[in-house]
Chains A and B, each alone.
Chain A
């Protein structure tokens, strides 16, 4: 027993956290796909899934079982090994940012002092997976989609980083625990409204969601980078996308919307987790709302919007923040 007692606390903490995080990821995907179809339905004056379970609650689970039963096709001219590994690559880095996410005062796996940078680094690995998928498929649509995805992500990574940096300047720390702790008095959303706006717009673009879903533009590119993927491999890409949505929304919550701060809910002890998840799911609802409201942008519009407006504005915002903080 001495041996176990002498082990460092991280030794237990990280496996437990990982188990929780992976179950959270799958549950989140189940909820999000259902919500997406249901909200889309109601926005278009339809009902959405109704038949399976109460109001179609089991629809996503059933889709998952069906996807597992589908044949996995590897095209003849594709690079087999890369083709197989790409969906895993898309899914894994999307999970890692949860290791530093502060869900509640004591519910954070590790609070490293460069939390924000770690999350940004992990989130941008997703592009690699998309490019590997597009390249290995050996399909013109997949390759075009992957190329679009890379240029889009490079263009929108910069405003994300700059807007987060101006929030970091105000707090004076990269650690997410510190950033959330700072917002007990006032949410950074009020101090840095422009940074929040820029961050949210560019994070929607970074998750490849409509109106910026050019990498998988159905009307031009069949299905973009996952054209050749069938069954569960395709599902893993979608799992990665919904996890990415959750990650960017929870960063927005932690950095700008006060994280787990909020007035204590009646009859409920763990109200901080509830507040965190409520804010995150509200932002995700906004993303779904965008998708079913706006038409897709053209590619030049997309890049111009980033390079001509978002990056200059976020640079000016960063400059003003730096001057004000110094004074």
Chain B
């Protein structure tokens, strides 16, 4: 227990936490692997951009960066049909309620990518005089992947999607075509 508290204090828990053990008591190894691979390769994001980082998120879906190569271009407008929520921008206290509602409306299994410094830790708003901005979206909802940058380059968000795939399946490239460095 002491170690656990110490881990929380030092932030070491984030690295040591292993999500692969959760789930059913009875395991179907092959089916689980297949399911995980399928989930990792069709991450449908929600059409949901709060601030300027959303512009970079849009460009990930466009020609030069093209998230559709990894099956992640299906931006669903309804939270009921989306798998990953990309929090792209500053979450202020007025917006917080909406963000939490949208997160709760998504069906399981669901993931969250915090995109940009504001969503990661408050960014330029993490100052003493701040009274409106929530410093990091992880104070509201569990975040799986943090993509820092102000705003992050589209490549960085793509990398974030890869990291999420890695987190889901345990491998960097679940399907070994077109390997990228």
Contacts and interface: CB of A to CB of B under 8 A. Distances in A.
B38 A69 contact: yes
What's the dominant secondary structure at chain A's contact region? loop
11 contacts: A47-B66, A49-B69, A49-B71, A50-B69, A63-B42, A66-B35, A71-B107, A218-B77, A222-B77, A228-B80, A234-B80
B77 A223 contact: yes
Nearest to A70: B107
Interface in B54-74: 62-63, 66, 68-71, 73-74
Nearest to B165: A51
A239 to B, nearest CB: 14
B80 A46 contact: no
A49 B109 CA distance: 22
Interface of B: 34-35, 37-39, 41-42, 47, 62-63, 66, 68-71, 73-74, 76-78, 80-81, 83, 105, 107-109, 175, 177-178
Provide the main secondary structure of the chain B interface. loop
A231 interface: yes
B19 to A, nearest CB: 16
B105 to A, nearest CB: 8
A11 B14 CA distance: 64
Contacts of A126: none
Contact of B62 (A44, A56, A66): A44
A325 B68 CA distance: 53
A65 interface: yes
A47 B69 CA distance: 7
Q: What 9 pairs across the A-B complex have the smallest Cβ distances? A: A71-B107, A223-B78, A230-B80, A50-B69, A65-B38, A45-B63, A230-B107, A218-B77, A71-B108
Contacts of A181: none
Classify chain A: how many residues form its interface, as a range: 20 to 34
B50 to A, nearest CB: 17
Interface of A: 37, 41, 44-54, 56, 59, 62-63, 65-66, 69-73, 218, 222-223, 226-231, 234
Contacts of B83: 66, 70
Contacts of A52: 41, 71, 175, 177
Given A47-B66, A62-B41, A223-B78, 13 more contacts: A44-B62, A49-B68, A51-B177, A56-B69, A59-B71, A62-B38, A65-B35, A66-B39, A69-B39, A71-B108, A222-B78, A226-B81, A230-B81
